[in-house]
Amino acid sequence: MHNDAAKRFTLPSPLTGWPLAVLLAVYLLVGTTGHLPWRGDDLTHLGPIHAMLRGEGWLLPEIAGEVYRDSGPLYYWLGAALASALGGLMPVHDAARLASSLFCAATLYWTALAARRLYGEGAFAPAILLGMGSLGLVVHAHETQPALAQIAGVALCLAGAVNLGRQGLQAGLQAGLGITLAFLAGGLSGLILTLPLVLAAPLLCPACRTPAVFRSISLCCGIALLAATLWLGAVAVQAPAEPARWLQEELRSIHPHTEHLASLSKLLQLFGWFAWPLWPIAGWALWKNRQSWTTPQVAIPLIASLCAIILVATTGKGLRPAGALPLLPPLCLLAAFGVQSLRRGAANAFDWFGVMAFLFFGLLVWLIWGALHFSWPPGLARQIVKLAPEFPRGDFLASALIGVPISIALLLLPAATERVPARATSTWALGMTLLWCLAVALLQPWFAYTKNYQPIASSLQDALASQPAAAAGCIKRRGLGDTQRAALDYFSSIRTVRYSSGDDCQLLLTYGSAGNSVNVAKEWNSPVWERRLGGGRKAEVFRLYRKN
């Protein structure tokens, strides 16, 4: 009787059907809305969406009136469309951020579709669950992040490329749309991540060496070329010089360098934690099938992984976690392949490691919450006070009432799914979702306080109102990055000009840290306004100067 009841309330493993859909919805939506945009990528990439809603930068993204060439327009188009459609129901930043949920869901679905076509029906759900359980996706899936649109294109291209030998025309159309999405989201880097998958298919798949398949590949490339031509042609009509500038910037962004390889330990650390737990299982799949590396089942995701690794390791301005997102779709494929052949001991170890890891980090979240509200443990509390010395300790009861049942669910995680070898995939997805929900419930007010520029923008707006109208009309900047400019424009409609221009400006706005302040020329008086965010030497410092 007891065993029958246990089975009745035990979820299938791996999760499929409606339980998987519900879990994915919770994973994608919790923490995506309900908070102001955070500093960093979340604010930076809200800037072009805000510009589009004001009728600016629909073809070339803009931030505060200046062209922003780091990302293509695709993500911003969907974000602006959602913000326009849902603006009456929720704040613009929340509605725009739902674009991340849609692109993330599309990435996981198309990756799972590719897994089903390569490895059978049994790989569909594990591919989604492994993606949800990866450490690198969880934060970026809940911020305004255009790289999610690029990896959605990579996943769709993979789903089409692996099917060229069976459904050439349909697969070619899918692959072509995938290349188009990746290009419109990420520019030339999107082509590097997708085109090799289609071009390599005839070399790897004997069934792909037919006239019909070659026609499908031509259709695929034609779709991508047509989309690129239409977009760049429209840009050229609006601003004839911009396509050449865009191409120059894109070529510079994909030009190989060795800066990341010189910091090999940091690069390996990034790959190690970002793609966990995908890379150990993917490595097992490669070892287990080492005699079959030239088959499509192994070669296509392997080529996609290598393209992503090379792109991350040899291009880009810095080692940013978001830049490693293209690793996830192909590694999810290989991991979905490898998890089916894990030995029982390895599968159990993988499962229990996940359980212990999520319990540990759940306890850590509670400790941080205790340090925030009760100054215990004291050492951790002192560190938190340094980061946010003026954090208001509000009502802690509501967050505790939400956090306790989530924590109980984490404790019951080992009994939540059937005891089968593939249970670890469900464990990681459930654990990551519960841990994220716990962090949102307990720590979101603190994150919102430490990453919120709205009070600074409002305070600066008040300071400008006290200045003569002629002076407030032009503000030079020094040290302000895209994030700060986007925040000032979004919250207070404040725009600045480069320090080298605007010689008639009477005001100068600087941004730096407490340990690395910005030096200004003698022609500027002492600051007429100053605000800080955070504490210690890393505190962010904004200062407004007026010319003598």
The string of DSSP codes covering 238-306 is: H-TTHHHHHHHHHHHHTS--SHHHHTHHHHHHHHHHHTTTHHHHHHHHHHHTGGGTTSHHHHHHHHHHH
Residues 203 and 133 grouped into a single domain: yes
Domain range enclosing 97: 35-255
Query: Burial of 360 by CB count in 10 Å (0-12 exposed, 13-18 middle, 19+ buried)?
Result: exposed
> By C-alpha distance, which of 469, 480, 537 is closest to 510?
480
Distant-in-sequence contacts of 526-532, Cβ < 8 A, 24+ apart:
528/463, 528/467, 529/459, 529/460, 529/463, 531/455, 531/456, 531/459, 531/460
Pairing of strands 66-67, 62-63: antiparallel
Q: What are the helix (H) ranges across 120-167?
A: 124-133, 135-138, 147-161
Residues 81 and 222 grouped into a single domain: yes
- Res 66: pLDDT: 94
**Residue 81 belongs to a domain:** yes
**Residue 162 belongs to a domain:** yes
Region of poorest pLDDT, from 89-98, 298-307, 417-426, 481-490: 417-426
**Residue 158 belongs to a domain:** yes
> How far apart, in whole angstroms, are the C-alpha atoms of residue 101 and residue 490?
22
Average pLDDT over residues 506-518: 87
pLDDT at 3 over 50: no
- Res 343: pLDDT: 87
> How far apart, in whole angstroms, are the C-alpha atoms of residue 96 and residue 94?
5
Residues 128 and 203 grouped into a single domain: yes
**Residue 371 belongs to a domain:** yes
Confidence of residue 11 (pLDDT cuts 50, 70, 90): low
- Res 407: pLDDT: 94
pLDDT at 8 over 50: no
**Residue 295 belongs to a domain:** no
Backbone angles phi, psi at 89, to 5 degrees: -100, -25
Backbone angles phi, psi at 276, to 5 degrees: -80, 140
> How far apart, in whole angstroms, are the C-alpha atoms of residue 279 and residue 302?
12
Last-in-domain residue among 418, 450, 482: 450
> How far apart, in whole angstroms, are the C-alpha atoms of residue 238 and residue 260?
37
pLDDT at 6 over 60: no
Helix axes 74-86, 168-186, angle to 10 degrees: 80
Residues 496 and 382 grouped into a single domain: no
**Amino acid present at 377:** P
- Res 10: pLDDT: 57
pLDDT at 321 over 60: yes
Backbone angles phi, psi at 164, to 5 degrees: -60, -35
**Amino acid present at 153:** G
Tell me 546's DSSP state: E
**Residue 125 belongs to a domain:** yes
Residues 199 and 83 grouped into a single domain: yes
- Res 1: pLDDT: 35
Residues 116 and 204 grouped into a single domain: yes
Residues 142 and 228 grouped into a single domain: yes
Query: Are the C-beta atoms of residues 513 and 535 closer than 8 Å to each other?
Result: no
**Torsion angle of C-alpha atoms 59, 65, 70, 72, degrees rounded to 10:** -20
The domain total for the chain is 3
Going 470 to 473 to 474 to 480, the CA torsion angle's sign is positive
pLDDT at 203 over 90: no
Residues 71 and 205 grouped into a single domain: yes
What tens digit of pLDDT does each residue of 327-378 get?
999 999 999 999 988 888 888 899 999 999 999 999 999 999 999 888 889 8
Last-in-domain residue among 255, 283, 299: 255
- Res 385: pLDDT: 82
- Res 384: pLDDT: 84
Confidence of residue 269 (pLDDT cuts 50, 70, 90): very high
Residues 496 and 540 grouped into a single domain: yes
**Residue 325 belongs to a domain:** no
> By C-alpha distance, which of 470, 460, 467 is closest to 509?
460
Q: What is the pTM of this model?
A: 0.94
**Residue 392 belongs to a domain:** yes
**Torsion angle of C-alpha atoms 211, 215, 216, 221, degrees rounded to 10:** 140
H or E stretch at 62: strand 62-63
* Residues whose CB is less than 8 angstroms from the CB of residue 348 and which lie 6 or more positions away in sequence, other chains included: 424
- Res 502: pLDDT: 65
Residues 383 and 480 grouped into a single domain: no
- Res 494: pLDDT: 94
Confidence of residue 211 (pLDDT cuts 50, 70, 90): confident
> How far apart, in whole angstroms, are the C-alpha atoms of residue 155 and residue 308?
12
Backbone angles phi, psi at 517, to 5 degrees: -75, 160
- Res 448: pLDDT: 83
Residues 407 and 510 grouped into a single domain: no
Going 133 to 31 to 404 to 381, the CA torsion angle's sign is positive
Residues 408 and 514 grouped into a single domain: no
What tens digit of pLDDT does each residue of 60-78 get?
999 999 999 999 999 999 9
Last-in-domain residue among 255, 274, 291: 255
Instruction: At 216, list the tokens.
Output: 């499908």
Cβ neighbours, 10 Å, residue 239: 13
* Residues whose CB is less than 8 angstroms from the CB of residue 515 and which lie 6 or more positions away in sequence, other chains included: 537, 538
